[in-house]
Structure 1
Amino acid sequence: MNEPVAAQPLLRVTDLTRTYELARTRLFGPREQVHALRGVSLSVNAGQSVGIVGESGSGKSTLARIVMALDAPTSGSVLFGGQDLHALKPGPLRAARRDFQMVFQDPYGSLDPRQTIERIVGEPLQALHDATRDQQRLRVLEVLAQVGLRDSDAHKYPHEFSGGQRQRIAIARALITRPRLIVADEPVSALDVSVQAQVLNLLQDLQRQHGLSYLLISHDLAVVSHLCDEVAVMHQGSIVERGAPAELFTNARHPYTQALVGAVPRISPGGARARRAGRRMQKTPMAGAGTLE
């Protein structure tokens, strides 16, 4: 009797490298090379959220662009649903993009200020050429409702919305094709802290409703802890450690991961904040001691 074959990951990245050549500093001198990715391998299962954390310049955004087939790797492969994305011709690649979409970091720069929300959100459907105008309009209204916006918002322009609302619009645009995977590159870093939790909760709700998978790029440990099942730590183009957030951030083994965890601010009752508060209390006159009520 044959044993059942384990389900393949939705996304499998294998030994990915990306090298950029810089301009020559001398007329006949060699070109300096920058190694943005060095043998990165990871996988994302259906319905799973995987976070990539690291400082600026660690290769996170390069990885996201290559996964989205917006940039080509120097070597290695990106398999989505068993297909090698970088081996596909333009037509099949355009069709494959229905199943993976991206949410960018800047909700101010990623939306065309000259277009209405209806046109912005419906743009991926227009590129696929498989829906009538009326079908596109109905689908736009459907995804706007899913992200907490109203039908009347479809006729407005990006400048009429707050940062959090603009990111909801960007998420609606990613949802319009009913994708299986969303790559989110720093989706809340440009938002106020009070709005970040709302957007993260929205992403969680959408995952439960639609069975989405996420590849979440972030430098914020709290963000990936909130949303992700697994976290990979990137440093100088390589993944140096991975695991479940609770385990990884409690028992970090790699020195770089330990440094990331150690850099997270903590409030200590007996720390500097308490000492500053104590000094202010000493300088403040007591009520009734020559003060006016």
Structure 2
Amino acid sequence: MPPPLLEVRNLQHHYPLPRTRLLGPRPVLPVLHGVDLDITAGRSLGVVGESGSGKSTLARIAMALETPVAGSVRLLGRDLHALPTRELRAARRDFQMVFQDPYGSLDPRQRVERIVTEPLRALHRPTRREAAERAAEVLAQVGLRPGDARKFPHEFSGGQRQRIAIARALITRPRLIVADEPVSALDVSVQAQVLNLLAELQERHGVTYLLISHDLAVVSHLCDEVLVLQAGRVVERGTPQQLFTQPQHPYTQALVAAVPRMPVV
């Protein structure tokens, strides 16, 4: 069996809180308690849980945007949080992120070509022609037209803006994409389009996904495995079918029971 592309071990994290006494110890808010996970290349792992369960913190640490109190995040065998700054910057070619808000994550003052080539320019200085060619390539991959590269984010719908965000994530040809609630800000009809696009890109390019979501239907649509996070602890893991038809942990059972169901007419 091949080694995992992403391997997270004993991840622990907390956030400092304001002091309650001038000379007393500073209290902390525990967020993650020894989280373990791994993803094989070309597969998708969904992380589900209610708000405050630690999902987004896990995503930020997996992206090396925050440093954990303890534990390790290894991508392609490299401990991301142990890499020197220059090596970490170079390693970012292999992992990118898609954020929840497709408008808030795009600079409204920049044209689309500039936005989607930002990760490329952070790694090296592409020529103007190279940047334009790569932008056109990834925009085509996400179903946008070459002329869209000259437009601004406000000229697109919410679903199109999320396609732009996905194009930006694809520009470095990453091995891993971390998607934090990538469709929660979109209309239901548009959600399916974006999820189908992510699945198509995975089939075409072998991209690996770590998908963060509170929506069980979303992870069931895209993910091979699902990890259930409760108050910063992993309480259950399995295939979508296993977890959503025969959940074992009471917390997972409560999540499944809370999914709205169409009434039988």
TM-score under structure 1 normalisation?
A: 0.89
How far does the alpha carbon of each residue in 1:130-162 deviate from its partner, in whole angstroms, 9 at most, with x for none?
A: 532211110000000000100110000000001
Aligned equivalent of 1:87: 82
Is 1:137 the counterpart of 2:124? The answer is no
CA distance in 2, matches of 1:155, 1:268: 46
Is 1:115 the counterpart of 2:110? The answer is yes
CA distance in 1, matches of 2:125, 2:86: 14
Q: For residues 36-55 of structure 1, what are the structure 2 equivalents within 5 Å?
A: 36-55=31-50
Identity of aligned residues (%): 71
Is 1:101 the counterpart of 2:96? The answer is yes
Residue 175 (structure 1) shift:
0.2
2:73 is aligned with what amino acid?
V
How far does the alpha carbon of each residue in 1:67-119 deviate from its partner, in whole angstroms, 9 at most, with x for none?
A: 00000010000000000000001111011000100000000100000000000
1:127 is aligned with what amino acid?
A
CA distance in 2, matches of 1:112, 1:224: 28
How far does the alpha carbon of each residue in 1:200-231 deviate from its partner, in whole angstroms, 9 at most, with x for none?
A: 00000000010000000000000000000000
Residue 178 (structure 1) shift:
0.3
Aligned equivalent of 1:196: 191
Aligned equivalent of 1:10: 5
Aligned equivalent of 2:19: 24
Give unmatched runs, 5+ long, in structure 2: none
How far does the alpha carbon of each residue in 1:41-85 deviate from its partner, in whole angstroms, 9 at most, with x for none?
A: 000100000000000100000000000000001000000000000
CA distance in 2, matches of 1:127, 1:230: 32
CA distance in 1, matches of 2:47, 2:30: 18
Q: Secondary structure at the match of 1:65?
A: helix
Shifted more, 22-31 versus 248-257: the winner is: 22-31
Q: Secondary structure at the match of 1:27?
A: coil
1:132 is aligned with what amino acid?
T
Aligned equivalent of 1:249: 244
Residue 24 (structure 1) shift:
0.6
How far does the alpha carbon of each residue in 1:157-190 deviate from its partner, in whole angstroms, 9 at most, with x for none?
A: 0000010000000000000000010000000000
2:231 is aligned with what amino acid?
Q
Q: Secondary structure at the match of 1:110?
A: coil
Residue 268 (structure 1) shift:
2.8
Q: Secondary structure at the match of 1:242?
A: strand
Larger Rg: 1
Is 1:70 the counterpart of 2:65? The answer is yes
Aligned equivalent of 2:142: 147
TM-score under structure 2 normalisation?
A: 0.98
CA distance in 2, matches of 1:185, 1:203: 13
Aligned equivalent of 1:124: 119
CA distance in 1, matches of 2:261, 2:154: 36
Point out 4+ residue stretches in structure 1 off by more than 6 angstroms: none
CA distance in 1, matches of 2:126, 2:114: 14
Backbone CA RMSD of aligned residues: 0.9
CA distance in 2, matches of 1:172, 1:268: 38
Is 1:172 the counterpart of 2:173? The answer is no
- Identify the match of residue 214 of structure 1 among 209, 214, 222: 209
CA distance in 1, matches of 2:179, 2:53: 16
Q: Secondary structure at the match of 2:7?
A: strand
How far does the alpha carbon of each residue in 1:12-61 deviate from its partner, in whole angstroms, 9 at most, with x for none?
A: 00000001110112322332211110000000100000000000100000
Q: Secondary structure at the match of 1:20?
A: strand
CA distance in 2, matches of 1:191, 1:267: 21
Give unmatched runs, 5+ long, in structure 1: 1-5, 275-293
CA distance in 1, matches of 2:77, 2:25: 39
